[in-house]
Structure 1
Amino acid sequence: MINKIEEYLGDNAKDLLSHECKTISKDRLHLPGGDFVDRIFVPSDRNPRVLNNLNWLFHTGRLSGTGYVSILPVDQGIEHSGGASFAKNPDYFDSENIVKLAIEGGCNGVASTLGVLGSVARRYAHKIPFIVKINHNQLLTYPNQFDQIMFASVEQAYDMGAAAVGATIYFGSEESNRQILEVSEAFARAHELGMATILWCYLRNPAFKKDGVDYHVSADLTGQANHLGVTIEADIIKQKLPENNGGYKALNMGSSSYGKIDERVYTELTTDHPIDLTRYQVANCYMGRQGLINSGGASGANDFHDAVRTAVINKRAGGTGLISGRKAFQRPMAEGVKLLNAIQDVYLCSDVTIA
């Protein structure tokens, strides 16, 4: 298995597989394992029904019992438009094929819209954990607006037998205060009804792009978004893989005064290595008490390399898994299954260790 992973990684293999993290040591983390729900969530305020659904999520698919998760997310029909998402493979306009891909691909769960999952709930809700995404950015206003609004209720997710609800907050946006309140209330209700919670912790502000650098993917700003997400009791955090650092410093250049940061974040807690940057994201999830799953990103020319690279970085940083959609569903189902399995093999491979 390790030989195939090295083949996918190519020239990146040695750097990623042999890196030693000297910032936040692995012994300070709450790492994934077969006992993760018992070890981490049983002492918490989650009720037994939430524990049951978390246990179902962590014990489904090829990664069952490992403490890692591989989730298929397909809400792009709203977030990016149906045409932009499914033109490459029109079969996925059919909602049933989304769930079939998750099952055939050995995923722990499938995350999608109320409509997608509701349309096939009686056939599949007992076969694979459903994660109902309850808010979306509807992309039909002109000009485009970027604001997550509620499309579904927690009760609707509960009624269809969902194991969890998912939501997005655009941290840093003008609408973020409202979104935090809405999602916090929804997550409290989901926990009350016995469902787990997953938060897409995304940044959104034009000011986060500065001097040609996109700080929407900086470790320091995404790390703080994660920290806000676990504060409203997200059980799992979805975050983009960090690509740079120093967002706070860039936004504070000149006369501006943005947020608060400590220089030791850059001198002691991170380096420029992607594993160290991702470990800082994990640290902000209460040192891994709430699992970090990184997103797979858009489909491109080197999907297998990119997906395996992201999985290796996430695992070695102490993360909990990957949530990859477009790379899988924007290709024929057999190839999509192969890609999902390639991601899962990273977490099944004992030779890929925690850095």
Structure 2
Amino acid sequence: MSYNKIVELLGDKADSLLNHSCKTISKDVLHIPNPNFVDQVFLQSNRNPQVLRSLGALFNSGRLAGTGYTSILPVDQGIEHSAGASFAKNPIYFDPENIIKLAIEGGCNAVATTFGGLAMMSRKYAHKIPFVVKINHNELLTYPNKADQIMYGSVEEAWNLGATAVGATIYFGSDNASRQIQEVAAAFERAHELGMATILWCYTRNDAFKRDGKDYHVSADLTGQANHLGVTIQADIIKQKLPENNGGYKALNSGGSSYGKLDERIYTELTSEHPIDLCRYQVANCYMGRAGLINSGGDSKGSTDMADAVRTAVINKRAGGMGLISGRKAFQRPIKEGVELLNAIQDVYLAKEVTIA
């Protein structure tokens, strides 16, 4: 995809997104993805040589190989959102081999999916594309439905089936967050011991985070703090939803409530209302980019998916992020179109004209 096509897909938002200059947190203090990112950031960490090799495998696969950026296909929706609801649009993805094929044909750095799916195809594909095993999930059969992430297997089994990395979700802000933090911290420690990289889905989850018609699950301040908790338990890469608003702490402290702690400079100096500045605050909370921020692609809306994906990629890249992890927009359509969408995302990170704000 040419730069002109990127501009076309951004439509009337092109100038605002492509020419924005960040006046909040300077790009000069960020650790920006680049071909030598592992050497510059992780070589001085406690990660052992096997983890460095795994990170190298992630960064040197697919169309973005050697750039420091990542494009990952995540397909755990069969558990998180139910298989029928996720795959009805394209039933071939009930077969996990087609998930892996889409990631390979789509030029992704890695495929992230379930124990069962990757184990079923392990010997055929573990040496062809990095595997990210999602080790915990919610489940939607308990009535009434509940939001809780539970372990579906062991870190050792992820290693046995050839995983390059493990992924996990924590619902920060939920009743079960304390247990999930402890479980995932222990799992990530073991994964590093075995030489695997770690990716954390840092999602906020609490009904109270919806106030006055706004959903603060996607506020920059709350998601930023979730990211900061995630890197504290040694996630190498953070997956987070793109921020859509700000002021979650303020909203939850209204009406005499007492929640968390805030500083007005979060809103006046460290962020603005611009989407790139909101995303940069997420990057800042990932140790100024030492742990890469990958934003999720979101659900599939049909005809606007390509434009939405390109917009998200532009915001992430210009904010100082490390890439996109997009699933439903890719697999809930014919495979040729899914490949085209994944390639369009990657083209944003390959475009030298799309710079850091």
- CA distance in 2 between counterparts of 1:245 and 1:52 reads 38
Of stretches 138-147 and 174-183 in structure 1, the one that deviates more from structure 2 is: 138-147
- CA distance in 1 between counterparts of 2:170 and 2:39 reads 28
- CA distance in 1 between counterparts of 2:62 and 2:9 reads 23
Q: C-alpha displacement at 1:337, in angstroms?
A: 0.2
Identical-residue share of aligned pairs (%) = 76
Match of 2:223, as an amino acid?
T
- CA distance in 2 between counterparts of 1:305 and 1:166 reads 27
Q: C-alpha displacement at 1:7, in angstroms?
A: 1.3
Match of 1:14, as an amino acid?
D
- CA distance in 1 between counterparts of 2:153 and 2:330 reads 26
- Unaligned runs of at least 5 residues, structure 1: none
- CA distance in 2 between counterparts of 1:83 and 1:161 reads 28
Match of 1:265, as an amino acid?
I
Write the mapping of 1:109-258 to structure 2, written as runs, cut at 5 A: 109-258=110-259
Partner of 1:277: 278
Partner of 2:80: 79
Write the mapping of 1:13-162 to structure 2, written as runs, cut at 5 A: 13-162=14-163
Match of 1:340, as an amino acid?
L
SS in structure 2 at match of 1:322: strand
- CA distance in 2 between counterparts of 1:161 and 1:49 reads 13
Match of 1:324, as an amino acid?
S
- In the alignment, does 2:318 pair up with 1:324? no
- CA distance in 2 between counterparts of 1:172 and 1:275 reads 25
Q: What are the Cα deviations for residues 159-189 of structure 1, in whole angstroms up to 9, with x where unaligned?
A: 0110000000000000000000000000000
Match of 2:248, as an amino acid?
G
- CA distance in 1 between counterparts of 2:39 and 2:336 reads 35
Please report the RMSD computed on the Cα atoms of aligned residues, expressed in angstroms.
0.4
Q: C-alpha displacement at 1:77, in angstroms?
A: 0.2
TM-score by length of 2: 0.99
- CA distance in 1 between counterparts of 2:318 and 2:247 reads 22
Q: C-alpha displacement at 1:125, in angstroms?
A: 0.4
Q: C-alpha displacement at 1:196, in angstroms?
A: 0.2
Q: C-alpha displacement at 1:11, in angstroms?
A: 1.2
- CA distance in 2 between counterparts of 1:10 and 1:335 reads 21
Partner of 2:290: 289
Q: What are the Cα deviations for residues 220-267 of structure 1, in whole angstroms up to 9, with x where unaligned?
A: 000000000000000000000000000000000121110011100000
Q: What are the Cα deviations for residues 282-335 of structure 1, in whole angstroms up to 9, with x where unaligned?
A: 000000000000000000030001000000000000000000000000001100
Return structure 1 stretches of 4+ with deviation > 4 angstroms: none
TM-score by length of 1: 1.00
- Unaligned runs of at least 5 residues, structure 2: none
SS in structure 1 at match of 2:318: helix
Partner of 2:355: 353
- CA distance in 2 between counterparts of 1:146 and 1:225 reads 17
* Count of residue pairs brought into register by the alignment: 355
Q: C-alpha displacement at 1:202, in angstroms?
A: 0.1
Match of 1:269, as an amino acid?
L
